[in-house]
A and B are shown apart, each in its own frame.
Chain A
Amino acid sequence: SQTIHQWPATLVQPVGSPLSLECTVEGTSNPNLYWYRQAAGRGLQLLFYSVGIGQISSEVPQNLSASRPQDRQFILSSKKLLLSDSGFYLCAWSLTSGLGVEQFFGPGTRLTVL
């Protein structure tokens, strides 16, 4: 069966520091991968998605970037964190794009920027 991992689970970082959050998927090949940010009372906002190695699309302009160095690895990064980057970051995967395709979510990373 497929599983999705995220680490770290929680992270406290000072403003201006770099960030690297990792997501890996097991048990499937060539998944679509997604990064979301969940803010309290605001649902989930799609930040990035990837349909293959090295293919990244950004949904919103921001201080963050994403990379997919391997088929089942998705990394969320920042060179210099802002206070506004605090939030709960979720990684998700799906088998293919398109209608009706369920996304499966990881456990998330709680990021606090001080």
Chain B
Amino acid sequence: AQSVSQHNHHVILSEAASLELGCNYSYGGTVNLFWYVQYPGQHLQLLLKYFSGDPLVKGIKGFEAEFIKSKFSFNLRKPSVQWSDTAEYFCAVNTDSSYKLIFGSGTRLLVRP
């Protein structure tokens, strides 16, 4: 069965530090990849998505992610985090004409001012 792994459950950074959150999926076919973010007290919202083409995807608020097919990975990055990036981040995959989004367990990011 398809699955998504986010290995970092809790990450604590200081402002201006660089961020990389890992996401790996298990599926051999065509995938589309998503990062969602849930800020405290807010809806889950889309940060960025990959469908096809350039494997380096840029999203909102300075985030980017790189799809590396050979590694089954879609890591999220930001060169310099801000306190306002404190949130929970979810990686998700959908596969081969499926309606389903398969989510990872999430990573809680705390950015200290």
Q: Is the interface of B mostly helix, strand, loop or mixed?
A: loop
Interface stretch (choices A10-18, A19-27, A66-74, A100-108): A100-108
- B49's partner among A32, A51, A102 (CB-CB below 8 A) is A102
- The CB with the most chain B CB atoms within 10 A, among A44, A90, A107, is that of A44
Contact B99 A32 (CB under 8 A): yes
Cβ of B29 to closest chain A Cβ, rounded Å: 10
Q: How many chain-B residues does the 8 Å CB contact rule pick out?
A: 27
Rounded to whole angstroms, the CA-CA distance of A104 and B101 in the bound complex is: 11
Closest to B94 in A: A99
Contacts of A106 in B (CB 8 A): 43
B97 within 8 A of A: yes
Contacts of B92 in A (CB 8 A): 44
Q: How many chain-A residues does the 8 Å CB contact rule pick out?
A: 24
Cβ of B25 to closest chain A Cβ, rounded Å: 12
Contacts of A58 in B (CB 8 A): none
Contact A99 B51 (CB under 8 A): yes
- B9's partner among A41, A90, A100, A104 (CB-CB below 8 A) is A41
Contacts of B32 in A (CB 8 A): 99-100
Rounded to whole angstroms, the CA-CA distance of A87 and B92 in the bound complex is: 20
Contact B101 A103 (CB under 8 A): yes
